[in-house]
Chains A and B, each alone.
Chain A
């Protein structure tokens, strides 16, 4: 009996062993949790970084629309806007306000002075390259032409002592897409989609004595 008692651990010893075991397990779990929590955070940031890197890689395929306005007036304002075309394509259909619905903008006849824009575009599209409008006067020079599947509008304003110049160059595919919606509608999303298929190109350039405006398309997510 005394031997049996000697072999059997006392209640205090059992509790102590259990406590020690429990304490050891808790400490282990807590330590692992503490050690792993930054690893988890690190993993997330690594995943985010990897995702970012992936985005940077895919960014080369992404097309970015850039707008830059440089003003040389007293305020010396500079505006830079960089928008991924795909983002614009996805966001535009969510805007339903006034004339904009589902990525399309409504135009009424009042704004186009009864000109059948669709027929006009179709005529330009099917016509060979050439100059459609050339105006040269003391006040201004205007040139509208089709060249290498681009519609080019060039205006040189000579009225002011300091000249201003506007040049717009739009791929014909973009114009086609723009007018691909129903009657009295411009399909902005389709136009953006068509634009994203174009190479690096300058779309709008405005220069006068105070401001320079550039709108262009490339694959960089930064402005030069």
Chain B
């Protein structure tokens, strides 16, 4: 009985610690709602720390394949994210008209992209450190590496 309790306690402790670690960088949140017939509704919450970790297990050939189309953009993206981390919360781009509202901003160390249009809503929230990790890994394991 004591052994079972110990095991349960150990498992619970491990789960709590793993959960705390997984969420310590926050979450990547993607919400897509298309308001038309057959439109998709995607709501995705992923622990931010899990993504760069999971990428270590992706075979190199797939990583090379994935990074090939974005090869030219990766250094630029990496430089932008690295610099964005230094700045306080700010709205970088905002476009408003009668049909839509597009906004790209940083908020509490996260990149936030919001598109509110009549027929669709897209909200993306991703920690800057996660994007930096991703771009670093893609650059390292890309075709040029």
A: residues with CB less than 8 A from B are 19, 22-23, 26-27, 29-30, 33-34, 37-38, 40-41, 44-45, 48, 52-53, 55-56, 59, 62, 71, 74-84, 86-87, 90-91, 94-97, 221-223
Contacts and interface: CB of A to CB of B under 8 A. Distances in A.
Give the top 6 A-B pairs by smallest Cβ distance, nearest first. A37-B20, A77-B97, A30-B13, A221-B90, A87-B83, A55-B88
18 contacts: A23-B6, A26-B10, A26-B13, A29-B13, A30-B13, A34-B16, A37-B24, A38-B20, A41-B24, A52-B89, A55-B86, A56-B88, A78-B95, A79-B95, A80-B94, A80-B95, A82-B90, A87-B80
Contact of A40 (B20, B78, B83): B20
A43 to B, nearest CB: 10
Interface string B1-26: 01001100110110011001001100
B90 to A, nearest CB: 4
A19 B86 contact: no
B9 A52 contact: no
B72 A59 contact: no
B13 A94 contact: no
A55 B91 contact: no
B55 interface: no
Contacts, number: 106
A96 B20 contact: no
B88 A37 contact: no
B109 A48 contact: yes
B42 interface: no
Nearest to A84: B87
Interface of B: 2, 5-6, 9-10, 12-13, 16-17, 20, 23-24, 72, 75-76, 78-80, 82-84, 86-99, 108-109
B91 A80 contact: yes
A19 B17 CA distance: 23
Contact of B108 (A33, A52, A78, A96): A52
A23 B2 CA distance: 9
Contacts of B95: 77-80
A96 B93 CA distance: 23
Nearest to B96: A78
A62 B90 CA distance: 13
B35 to A, nearest CB: 20
Contact of A26 (B9, B76, B86): B9
A26 B6 contact: yes
Nearest to B105: A82
A56 B89 CA distance: 8
Contacts of A30: 9, 12-13, 16
